Structure 1
Amino acid sequence: MSVRNDVARTIPDMVTVALAVTEGMLHFELSMAYEVFGAAPVDVAVPWYDVEVCGSRAVLLGRFRLEPDHGLDRLRRADTVIVPGWADADEDPPADLVGAVRAAHEAGARVASLCTGAFVLAAAGLLDGRRATTHWAHTGALAARYPRVEVDPDVLYVDNGSVLTSAGKAAAMDLCLHLVRLDHGSSVANAVARRLVVPPHRAGGQAQFVAAPVPTRDDHPLAALLPWVIERLDRPLTVEDLARQARMSSRHLGRHFRAVTGTTPLQWLLTQRIRRAQELLETTDDVVDAIATATGMGTATTLRRHFNRTVGVPPDTYRRTFRSRPRTDANDGRETPH
């Protein structure tokens, strides 16, 4: 997760999102991106995106026929270009799509691929010398076909600032929410996630899949522990505290955390603390010392160190970035003064 390359960018500069479509494109990723960027959450009042569907001709997406709003040349006028995955990753992507995506990036657009859309970005040369990812089943093919790309098969998404790539399906949603978070902040991204009934944030560095599937029921071993921790982020919790509350050994707890969250107890706890700090920076006037106390970081120095390493900018810079945009009351969507 990083806002380092996008701090100077404001949402009025990022208003147009173009979805690049072509024959054989995966309709799930395309529809998901449209859902995220096409409708503002009802409980916030912020300038929202203008979504355009761009393609060279009408295309078939499974059994559905899609008529683009504009031609591919329109991508050059977009602020953000989304390239959804396409079904036949073994074939070279269409030359007109590749050229249009390259031209859009050269014109200054932020370009993001979902799933196998990474093959389009690679063919356009946008991933040369950069770290990137795609669906785990295709990472080997991406690395073999484009040896100048540093393919990481073990992450959900990769943010290189103006070029972003994601793994498949659910990870594509994670990347879309990450873009909303970069543009609008955590509170708005969380509101979008609530509308779509999906987890508000999974860090890009999380594994694409874990040894056991993430439980969907409330009877998994950490079901009671996780909300207990969230309610106590202001306390200096340790792994031993968590293990004691869960009535298991620290080693046993670590195994369950890896299976359920894909990470360690300490890393998960740090992520929750950083998320809480982001929300407080966006929605309150609390000084950094107070936020450090409220998030269990102890001191402003500790908070700044972890925040800067995780988010990419210091807390004060993060606050200035998101507080320069209209603040909203989460209860009624009205703007509130700074």
Structure 2
Amino acid sequence: MIRVALFVCPQTVCSSLATADDAFRLANQLAGEPLFQVQRFSRDGRAVDIGMAEVRVDGDLALAERADLVLLTATGPGVEKTLAANQALLPWLAARPDTQQLASLCSSAFLLAASGRLDGRRATTHWALAPAFRKRYPQVRLDADAMLTEDGNLFCSGGAQAGLDLCLHLIGWHAGDWLAQRVASAMVFDMQRGLQSRFAPLLPAAGGDDPQISPLLLWLQRNLAEPLDVDALATRAHCSSRTLLRRFKASTGLTPNAYLQRLRISAAQIALRNPARSLEQVAAQVGYADRATFAKLFKQLCGETPGAFRRRLRTPESP
């Protein structure tokens, strides 16, 4: 029997804990035998208040030391608070033998990295936390595009539902892909969902309320199919082209051209949901004269072709 220990702390995300617990217990049910012994642990062995509920645990760190797999469930976006509150856990994680599997879901990759266990190793976390992770742990080989990573006995997953991707991967690792697929089917979940990066928004949030740039962004949204002319945009913003480029980059983090391309592809993602429109029509609607240019940029930004994107959204009810 594979012993799985789920870590619980006050910062634990309830849905992440429940998803992991459900996945392994469902694997036992579908296999018809107890392949996984699932237990919860806290640092001191006491029940933990996670906000929505008080979670009972089966033991403390000593229990987890006997586990085959220690899984750190997600702890939410408050990384600084989580690290400060769990400093005592870090030396324990650092001391885990290489034969014991360690896995993090979403933001808990920060705990693994803070312990030093991810130094020089491949890892992932929620795409929105990637910049902060890279800055804090440059020694870790972060792959923010990946839904999950495996490096020896170290496993990490991306954001939210990617935690289920990792749990299914671990079920398959220990009990076979056939069981992982059965669990996925029972949970109405697609395996092999591609890159995490395709869920990240293409357009960045504006970095401030620039009185010259904000109205310009609104105008671009309404006229995204128009050819880009930086001089014309500068005139509209009542400034020089040089000033426009500087302030546009400060506000959005992108050049006007890069922003427009992302704006167009974002609009294309919406248009592709209508099966009645051909790819050529969608391309023209968002400002591209030919399908090839549109398809190349779409794949560059979204990680898949427009056709693959449309097929993934297709349901049996679609015309």
TM-score, length of structure 2 as denominator length: 0.61
In structure 2, do the counterparts of structure 1 residues 125 and 106 end up closer, same or farther at CA, with 3 Å as the change threshold?
same
Give the equivalent residue in structure 2 for 1:62: 51
- Identify which of 147, 164, 188 aligns with 2:155: 164
Q: CA deviation at 1:40?
A: 2.3
Name the structure 1 match of 2:79: 89
Deviation at 1:181, TM superposition (A): 2.1
Q: Does the CA contact (< 8 Å) of 1:155 and 1:205 recur in 2? A: yes
2:185 corresponds to which residue? 194
Q: Is residue 2:17 matched to residue 1:26?
A: no
* 1:3-59 alpha-carbon deviations (Å, 9 max, x no partner): xxxxxxxxx5xx111001112111111111111112226554465211010112221
Question: Residues of 2 paired with 1:254 and 1:44: CA distance?
Answer: 44
CA RMSD of aligned residues (A): 3.6
Relative to structure 1, the CA distance from residue 112 to residue 220 in structure 2 (aligned partners, 3 Å threshold; closer, same or farther) is: farther
Quote the Cα distance in structure 2 between the aligned partners of 1:143 and 1:255. 26
Label 1:208 to 1:77 Cα distance change in 2 as closer, same or farther (>3 A).
farther
Give the C-alpha shift of residue 131 in structure 1.
2.0
Q: Distance in 2 between matches of 1:189 and 1:148?
A: 32
- 1:176 partner letter: C
Map Cα deviations across residues 280-311 of structure 1 (whole Å, 9 max, x no partner). Answer: xxxxxxxxxxxxxxxxxxxxxxxxxxxxxxxx
Measured in 2, the distance between the counterparts of 1:70 and 1:173 equals 24
* Structure-to-structure mapping, 1:221-260, within 5 angstroms: 221=275
CA contact (8 A) 1:20 1:53 kept: yes
Q: Over alpha carbons, which structure has the higher Rg? A: 2
Per-residue CA distance 1:92-117 (angstroms, 9 max, x = gap)? 251332233333x3162111100110
Compare relative contact order (CA 8 Å, sep 6+) and give the higher one, 1 or 2.
Answer: 1
In structure 2, what is the equivalent of residue 35 of structure 1? 22
Match of 1:152 among 143, 156, 163: 143
Task: Give the match for residue 39 of structure 2.
Answer: 52
CA spacing shift, 1:144–1:191, aligned 2, 3 Å: same
Q: CA deviation at 1:139?
A: 1.6
Q: Distance in 2 between matches of 1:124 and 1:175?
A: 21
Q: Secondary structure at the match of 2:70?
A: strand
Q: How do residues 86-125 of structure 1 correspond to structure 2 at under 5 angstroms?
A: 86-87=75-76, 88-91=78-81, 92-93=83-84, 94-103=86-95, 105-106=96-97, 108-125=99-116
Q: SS at the partner of 1:39?
A: helix
Q: 1:185 to 1:221 in 2, by over 3 A?
A: farther
Alpha-carbon distance in structure 1 between the residues aligned to 2:40 and 2:27: 17
SS in 1 for 2:170: helix
Contact 1:36 1:177 in 2 (8 A): yes
State the distance in 2 between where 1:123 and 1:42 align. 36
Q: Distance in 2 between matches of 1:66 and 1:54?
A: 10
The answer on whether the counterparts of 1:156 and 1:207 sit within 8 Å (CA) in structure 2 is no
2-side partners of 1:67 and 1:150: how far apart?
Answer: 35
**CA 1:100–1:207 in 2, change beyond 3 Å: closer, same or farther?**
farther
> How many equivalent residue pairs?
230
> Identical aligned pairs, as a percentage?
31
1:17 aligns with 2:4: yes
